[in-house]
Amino acid sequence: MIDVQKVNATKEKILNVIKTVGPSFPTRISREAGISPLFIGALLSEMLAEKKVMMSAMKVGSSPLYFLPDQETQLENFTQYLNHKEREAVSRLKDSLILDDETQDPAIRVALRKLKDFAIPITVHEDGTEKLFWKFFTTSDERAKEIIEPIITPKQHTEPRKSVEETPLTERAIQAIKEEGREEEKEPNEVKKMERKMKKTKEPSAFSRNVKEYLAAKEIEVLEDLPTKAKEYNARVRIDTLLGKQEYLLLAKEKKKLTEDDLAIALHKAQSEKMPALILTPGELDKTAKPYLDQWKNLLKFEKLT
């Protein structure tokens, strides 16, 4: 029989961790709260359903962030994990507070539709048609109206002919674009073409070529290249050991210093693929990363890229 009192105490411990450290991914919450990684996902799912925590649409590695309702603004601390165009879209939106969708270039329009944590859609009805604007998530409804009204109301008209219907901040998760596939059907052809172009495989970077040369010299077999951000190279690799062949999730980063969070994200991604992680970098481990590596040395391997 489930010990309800014990479960509630564990959930309270999770809440205290998130309150202390801010938005966090499950691996970190598990570590800070001293809860087995096997149970943390189920507990967070229950707490999400109970509305005790919230979950980001943004992913850190392959995991969302869990946070308390009053910590929403702290999600800005994780924009570094967005891709280049998404970071640019967040920056534009934060500077302008409101963006007119049809005046943005296709790549930014695609990015805005994915930034559900930061970009709130506002629909304006104009002579039987709809016009889409995006509001930065911390912008008040009143301020949004002040910015939009002069855009949609010609100066020569003494009375506005159009009205603005906004998505209430409290219902953002409901009113935001929930299914990317459904929205993509509504997007203009040029947006679809841009998104397909963005998804095409890029030419290997100098860093990824260096990593592959290092792997070849070490007789480490690359089984599959994986989607990779700038200054990174990810792949499934296989290494010969005394006990036979062992597969690893390789995560190579072109950084001078790796932090505890870098290692935690790598471990979480590897666990989601049900394999250990191998991290390569030309840099060093900082003082927070070394004890974390010792703690998880059976599942996390580190090599300095030379």
Instruction: Decide which of 199, 218, 240 is a domain's last residue.
Output: 199
Sheet holding 277-281, edge to edge: 221-226, 232-241, 244-253, 277-281, 300-304
| Domain shared by 276 and 177, yes or no | no
Average pLDDT score over the chain: 81
What is the rounded CA–CA span in Å between residue 149 and residue 147? 6
| Domain shared by 124 and 35, yes or no | no
Q: Look at residues 60, 56, 59 and name the one whose alpha carbon lies nearest to residue 44.
A: 56
Instruction: Decide which of 166, 199, 232 is a domain's last residue.
Output: 199
Task: Say yes or no to pLDDT of 140 above 50.
Answer: yes
| Domain shared by 169 and 226, yes or no | no
- Where residue 45 sits, what CATH number does that domain have? 1.10.10.10
Task: Say yes or no to pLDDT of 164 above 50.
Answer: no
Task: Say yes or no to pLDDT of 157 above 50.
Answer: no
| Domain shared by 113 and 57, yes or no | no
> Computed over its alpha carbons, how large is the radius of gyration of the chain?
23
Q: What are phi and psi of 43, to 5 degrees?
A: -65, -45
Tokens describing residue 88: 């640019």
| Domain shared by 58 and 136, yes or no | no
Residues facing residue 129 across a β-bridge:
126
Q: Look at residues 5, 9, 8, 30 and name the one whose alpha carbon lies nearest to residue 18.
A: 30
Full residue range of the structural domain in which residue 56 is found: 4-73
| Domain shared by 93 and 130, yes or no | yes
| Domain shared by 176 and 239, yes or no | no
Q: Is 135 exposed, middle or buried (0-12, 13-18, 19+ CB in 10 A)?
A: buried
Instruction: Decide which of 162, 183, 199 is a domain's last residue.
Output: 199
Q: How many beta carbons lie within 10 A of that of residue 121, not counting itself?
A: 19
Per-residue model confidence as pLDDT tens digits over 43-70: 998 899 989 999 999 888 778 899 999 9
pLDDT band at 161 (very low <50, low <70, confident <90, very high): very low
Task: Say yes or no to pLDDT of 252 above 70.
Answer: yes
| Domain shared by 43 and 109, yes or no | no
| Domain shared by 147 and 242, yes or no | no
**Total domain count, the chain:** 3
pTM of the model: 0.51
